[in-house]
Chain A
């Protein structure tokens, strides 16, 4: 029986706490009284995932017929699926998407459906490589579709394959992938890692154009999403739901399939990462010392390669299919069951160790903007109720934050970092002054469409993701980061956690309350 998450109060007998520090680790001893929030242990997986998937397809929830009833010869069927940004790290084969899509294709074949297209729902993310697609879909599906031009990657800049469905009652443009919209049935295959994923966001974001996305990927939305992991208080959620309902009302038939994963994140050699430190055995200590020393001695690029080759032993904890909102309600319950941890009261200082990976640097470099986004966009927002850190408080992040960018994946990030952030770090000013120029830059569009580049506007979204935190916090300190890169983002560099805590006192006062967000596993703090 997996144990629930809990809050540990550090005392003199508490062993040092393990923190991610990019492609390495730090063991830190927190002051007595510090709270450390641990997530629940990984839930037991479904015993028969393939059976569960088939059951979900045959017994949909909400106002939906079973999938076989929606399939007929001569119809146009499109199957869209989540891209490389999920799950993290990429999961051990077979990927959930492969299991689900194979099951859908079996039913489609039984029904005599010939016109089937698969679409990676990239939104403005980079295209996936063949190896990444093969990993997500399996060789059988890839070889059955890709050589025949039936495996697409959504192109948000292809005017010939976008259709403007109209505007919501809030004046939001809804412009989506034409093939998906004009199909007789759109099956969306989702993987839900955090509460923000899935639901109407799958189609309304994953298959949308910039013209459509800009209505909710903006500073105002982010500042009014408190947090975007809490559906009832998330403007990001509300905007996607408005669009999703508009899409349904426009006659687009969506059959949503969502799955949730447990938080079994790291395999054998790195299993110590998700154990509570005082429960480490001899083998865990040895594994920590060996991997820590090896990573320290390995050149960063090689260490990155080693870590990005990790395949997570995630396993499926639920799968549900049918009408979008009914499906997502069950998904959210399952995510909360895995991730929620009750926490009483806010803290003056919130600390976090940031790993080598986030949704936007799979097989790539964690550049400084992504460091900010992971810390202030994702980890800061892992709350329901109130932020873990009080207004005017401080976030301390541990990450090397190198001034380094992947030239193919993140070309516009380089310009954003070197030119936009050199001028201002204010998300509102950045949005007003620079967004459109970057978003419509023909070179970035060319790279997004023809290589493996994120869209020109993507670094803006990463910075907007931080907007709520930047508005809420009194300061951000990065431990062990490249001082130039850290300062460029308007944060303060510190050499050690102790220095950072002293610096934080200048902002929040003497003897602050400290809370550490332990990771892995990922958690969602339910702050009362």
Chain B
């Protein structure tokens, strides 16, 4: 089968890192990602089935991987070579459309009894992601045994599969995974009713987070920093009260929070800041605009950053991470179930801006890496032509 494969090649990773630093997305041309013919992944055991991806998204963490910017933290919890792609809608063997909840927790790994987190349904916090009968891999798309969405076939455990309601088209369904991250991030903010919430970044994650806040958490005011006019428009459509250019965020927060100013920083600030970028600059901005004893939620994947944490200490700011999904205790529901509804209710299908076949992956990744500038949000790989043609062949064979 055709698949984009990411190999562990130190020279190629170094080349990707150098190229990606110059031009985001250039790592796809020079790095460790290649389009190759490989064997379909074998079913690891009972409870597993084959899934043929229809649409598969390119996310920020994929871009970091392709450009060699991913943190070394991941080294022991990924296995090479792997087929990337963890945001996907596909067709199961019985023809039903499914989205994959990609975390490879205890159930998928055949580990019994499950760890405490998995026992509570909170697979995102699984303590066994490098153990069991699968190679290490925190998610589908980072594990050499499972394949990923950027290939023609992947394998998924039944515990990972969620049926897609007919009301959701493919574009909507491919947004379920990022929407689930956003739901988890928005709920990690805690009780935000009436609060001033800042969302930094208005890419896919930022926009989905705004939608999640608007529908699940009822904040008082949502301020977002969005670099491009289209992002600002979408942010407002999805529920942001104020959408301004990143350089204006501090001024907007000051006004909304009615804060005084000390030097070039705010004396007060926002109750909650949700950082959907994950850079040193965004974390620094988050700490600059959050109020004393406020909370900063990191939803965007950060990597190694250098930030002055003095404000965190002096203002007793709470810094929390929000990774992936699982069970949302505040709602008593699985994150993916909430995300499926959010995608439908907020019309998140509109965030899918462009689709490419796998063999145009260099263009696709370049488009995704420069999405905001080019007026796009989510760029996906589209393999529906192959899936339909292989279905016809299968039908003919029967």
Contacts and interface: CB of A to CB of B under 8 A. Distances in A.
A446 B260 contact: yes
B56 to A, nearest CB: 36
Interface stretch (B244-252, B300-308, B340-348, B355-363): B244-252
A443 B258 contact: yes
B252 A441 contact: no
A418 interface: yes
Contact of B254 (A418, A422, A443): A443
A170 interface: no
Which one of A418, A419, A422, A442 has the greatest number of beta carbons of chain B within 10 Å?
A419
Interface in B235-255: 242, 244, 248, 251-252, 254-255
B247 to A, nearest CB: 10
B255 A441 contact: yes
Interface in B208-260: 242, 244, 248, 251-252, 254-255, 258-260
Given A415-B255, A419-B255, A437-B255, A442 B248 contact: no
B261 interface: yes
B330 to A, nearest CB: 31
A414 B244 CA distance: 13
Nearest to A441: B258
Contacts of A418: 244, 248, 251
A446 B267 CA distance: 13
Nearest to A418: B248
Nearest to B248: A418
A443 B260 CA distance: 5
Contact of A419 (B252, B258, B260): B252
Nearest to A420: B255
A113 B44 CA distance: 102
A415 B258 contact: no
A441 B254 CA distance: 10
A440 to B, nearest CB: 8
A422 B251 CA distance: 14
Contacts of B260: 442-443, 446
B259 A443 contact: yes
B254 A419 contact: no
Interface residues of A, number: 11
A418 B258 CA distance: 17
A443 B261 contact: yes
Interface string A394-421: 0000000000000000000011001100
Given A418-B251, A438-B255, 5 more contacts: A415-B255, A419-B242, A419-B252, A441-B255, A443-B254
24 contacts: A414-B251, A415-B251, A415-B252, A415-B255, A418-B244, A418-B251, A419-B242, A419-B244, A419-B248, A419-B251, A419-B252, A419-B255, A422-B244, A437-B255, A438-B255, A441-B255, A441-B258, A442-B258, A442-B260, A443-B254, A443-B258, A443-B259, A443-B260, A443-B261
Interface in B274-324: none
Contacts of B255: 415, 419, 437-438, 441
Contacts of B252: 415, 419
Contacts of B244: 418-419, 422
A134 to B, nearest CB: 30
A352 B258 CA distance: 39
Nearest to B252: A419
Contacts of A419: 242, 244, 248, 251-252, 255
Q: Which 10 A-B pairs have the closest CB atoms?
A: A443-B260, A415-B255, A442-B258, A441-B258, A418-B248, A415-B251, A443-B261, A419-B252, A446-B260, A442-B260
A443 B261 CA distance: 7
Nearest to A442: B258
A422 B243 CA distance: 10
Contacts of A437: 255
Nearest to B260: A443
Interface string B49-72: 000000000000000000000000
A438 B258 CA distance: 9
A408 to B, nearest CB: 13
Contacts of B251: 414-415, 418-419
Contacts of A441: 255, 258
Interface string A201-221: 000000000000000000000
A161 B261 CA distance: 26
Nearest to A443: B260
A472 to B, nearest CB: 30
A415 B255 CA distance: 8
A153 B244 CA distance: 36
Nearest to B259: A443
B20 to A, nearest CB: 32
A392 to B, nearest CB: 31
A500 B42 CA distance: 71
B226 to A, nearest CB: 12
Nearest to A415: B255
Interface in A153-195: none
A450 to B, nearest CB: 11
